[in-house]
């Protein structure tokens, strides 16, 4: 008991001195569990996040936009893979994590439970959703767990490209015909509030934040990141000539930040409980895709087994 107490103190001092924790280092069990929870939720978000956008690949308005969207969706798959691998370094089993997603036990980002009903939604997702994801992930590049932090560095580079592709779509629409401008405004109206919910509950209602900040898993709180995102995004909306759907949004000279209206927290909790507009469809699509891919996993495993056998025989010879 005394020993584990001092181990925890040494761990905290090590983290406070800005060292990275690596897979073989001693760590408190709760640190390990918190990371597995957060990293696996993050991985699931990347994978489920492919669905609302892949919905538009066949309907992209030009070959160029189709190629860009396809590349972006493939990047998300890659991000999911880095993140599942990072969770595996903590002893998590990939099959268990994926089963938890498919049975609805594991969470993934609330944002992917909203429908993508027009091409302008591809713009709004890239601009706002990837913009919010970057704000969060730039902070996570400095997270205390080494493998997670290194995965984030690479992911952030790709997310910047995603954000640009979204903003470019918004620019074209916002400078286009009255119908195109209306499409862009409609997408902003629908994606604004869900995007600012992505940062999670208010700090005072966030059960995990205090401990995660102490362990330097999180470097900034949910509310700090949300405010940063809003401050950065309002001028971008102004540049597009679009209106953010919040009558209470106002620059505050004193604080040097934008004040904003009340978030509908009831909606947020309903969505994360599984009752959002598309939760059921997303999980059905994910399960179907997983089943349809069974033969690929079997083939890949058969090849890996054959290779291992061949090497073993080669070594023996």
- d(CA 248, CA 264) in angstroms, rounded, equals 14
The CB-of-167 to ligand BYC minimum distance in angstroms stands at 14
Does 54 bind ligand BYC (CB under 6 A)? Our answer is no
Closer residue to ligand BYC (CB): 161 or 180: 161
Which of the stretches 20-28, 178-186, 207-215, 290-298 binds ligand BYC when contact is defined by CB under 6 A?
A: 207-215
Of residues 137 through 196, those in contact with ligand BYC by CB under 6 A are none
Closer residue to ligand BYC (CB): 87 or 198: 198
Does 121 bind ligand BYC (CB under 6 A)? Our answer is no
Does 130 bind ligand BYC (CB under 6 A)? Our answer is yes
Q: Is the Cβ–Cβ distance between 137 and 49 less than 8 Å?
A: no
Contacts (Cβ under 8 Å, ≥6 apart) of 175: none
Map residue 236 onto helix, strand or coil. helix
Does 272 bind ligand BYC (CB under 6 A)? Our answer is yes
Tokens of 183: 């499409």
- d(CA 192, CA 274) in angstroms, rounded, equals 20
- d(CA 239, CA 127) in angstroms, rounded, equals 13
Does 51 bind ligand BYC (CB under 6 A)? Our answer is no
Closer residue to ligand BYC (CB): 7 or 77: 77
Of residues 24 through 43, those in contact with ligand BYC by CB under 6 A are 37-38, 41-42
Does 109 bind ligand BYC (CB under 6 A)? Our answer is yes
Dihedral, CA of residue 264, residue 270, residue 274 and residue 279, to nearest 10: -40
Query: At what angle are helices 63-88 and 94-102 packed, to 10 degrees?
Result: 120
Among 69, 129, 187, 278, indicate the residue that binds ligand BYC (CB under 6 A).
Answer: 129
Q: Which residue is nearest to ligand BYC (CB)?
A: 49
Identify which of 208, 162, 139, 131 has the alpha carbon closest to the alpha carbon of residue 68.
162
The residues binding ligand BYC (CB under 6 A) are: 37-38, 41-42, 45-46, 49, 76, 107, 109-110, 129-130, 133, 136, 197-201, 206-209, 212, 222, 272
């Amino acid at each position: 008991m005394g020993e584990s107490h001092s181990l925890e103190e040494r761990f905290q001092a090590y983290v406070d001195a800005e060292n990275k924790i690596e897979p073989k280092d001693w760590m408190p069990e709760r640190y390990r569990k918190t990371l597995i929870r957060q990293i696996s939720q993050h991985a699931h978000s990347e994978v489920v996040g492919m669905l609302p956008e892949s919905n538009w690949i066949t309907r992209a308005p030009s070959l160029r936009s189709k190629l860009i969207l396809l590349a972006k969706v493939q990047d998300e798959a890659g991000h999911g893979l880095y993140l599942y691998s990072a969770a595996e370094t903590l002893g998590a089993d990939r099959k268990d994590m994926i089963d938890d997603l498919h049975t609805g036990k594991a969470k993934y980002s609330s944002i992917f439970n909203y429908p993508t009903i027009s091409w302008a939604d591809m713009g709004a997702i890239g601009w706002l959703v990837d913009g919010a994801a970057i704000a969060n992930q730039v902070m996570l590049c400095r997270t205390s767990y080494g493998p997670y932090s290194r995965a984030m560095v690479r992911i952030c580079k790709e997310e910047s490209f995603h954000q640009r592709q979204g903003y470019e779509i918004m620019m074209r629409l916002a400078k286009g015909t009255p119908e195109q401008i209306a499409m862009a405004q409609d997408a902003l109206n629908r994606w604004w509030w869900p995007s600012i919910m992505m940062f999670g509950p208010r700090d005072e209602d966030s059960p995990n934040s205090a401990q995660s900040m102490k362990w330097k898993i999180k470097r900034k709180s949910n509310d700090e990141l949300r405010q940063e995102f809003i401050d950065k995004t309002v001028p971008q909306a102004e540049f597009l000539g679009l209106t953010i759907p919040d009558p209470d949004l106002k620059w505050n000279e004193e604080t040097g930040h934008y004040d904003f209206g009340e978030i509908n927290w009831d909606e947020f909790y309903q969505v994360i409980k599984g009752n959002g507009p598309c939760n059921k469809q997303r999980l059905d699509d994910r399960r179907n895709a997983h089943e349809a891919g069974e033969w690929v996993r079997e083939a890949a495993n058969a090849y890996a087994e054959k290779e291992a056998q061949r090497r073993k025989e080669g070594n023996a010879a």
